[in-house]
Amino acid sequence: MASFESKVSDIFDKNPRLARKIPILIRKIFYESESKFKQRLNKESEEDRQAHLMRLFDILFIDFFFDDLNDRFINWVIDHHPERFSESELEEMRAESESYLDFYEVQKVFPGEGSHIKSLLTNYEGFLKDVSSSLSLIKWDIVLSRCYLLRGNYYATGSLIRFKPSDKKYIINRIKKA
């Protein structure tokens, strides 16, 4: 978790009208009610539970446009509460606010450090600084992730969804049809 995420969560928690949007998001993202979502999470492994929650928070904080704020939450926080964050945290928050989901192909793995990745959509490539994924990914794996560029490296905002190299052609064809 980035150092600023708990501060962002605290600001969100102090705005109860925003929390009322969570059930709407759960239904849109996971196609189930909030109670079913919670029941399912309780039955899942800790790793799967974390992945679902990270996806929800990414969308809630980065993507979702709040009419009450007339903005996305992370941008609103940057604009209205900059005093709560260091310059370094604000820089990272701005980078995250521009992140988006993309499919990446692993070009090379540096165990314990990260991986060199290349976007299937934009052909952008660079170093993904992610120690945990570097211990399980292999060359040519495909990952779906929300990455952002900061100080020359890519960082993932949440969990990576891993696909086999043999899925690449199918993924590219689906993207072209979209």
Q: What is the pLDDT of residues 68-112, one digit of tens each?
A: 899 999 999 999 999 999 999 999 999 999 998 999 999 999 999
Question: What angle (nearest 5°) sits at the alpha carbon of residue 91, between those of residues 90 and 96?
Answer: 95
Q: Would you place residue 135 in the very low, low, confident or very high pLDDT band (cuts 50, 70, 90)?
A: very high
Which H helix or E strand runs over 50?
helix 46-58
pLDDT value, residue 141: 98
Report DSSP state, residue 111: T
Which residues are paired to 117 by β-bridges? Answer: 106, 126
**Is 88 strand, coil or helix?**
helix
Which DSSP letter does residue 153 get?
E
Instruction: Report d(CA 72, CA 69) in Å as an integer.
Output: 7
The pLDDT of residue 2 is 56
0.75 exceeded by the pTM?
yes
Q: How many CB atoms lie within 10 A of CB 163?
A: 16
As a whole number, mean pLDDT of residues 119-129 equals 95
Q: Are 107 and 124 in contact (CB under 8 A)?
A: no
The closest of 118, 113, 178, 110 to 143, measured between CA atoms, is 118
Residue-range domains of the chain with CATH:
5-96 (no CATH), 100-177 (2.40.50.140)
Which range among 3-12, 38-47, 61-70, 142-151 has the greatest average pLDDT? Answer: 142-151
**What is the pLDDT averaged over residues 36-58?**
86
Note the pLDDT of residue 47. Answer: 82
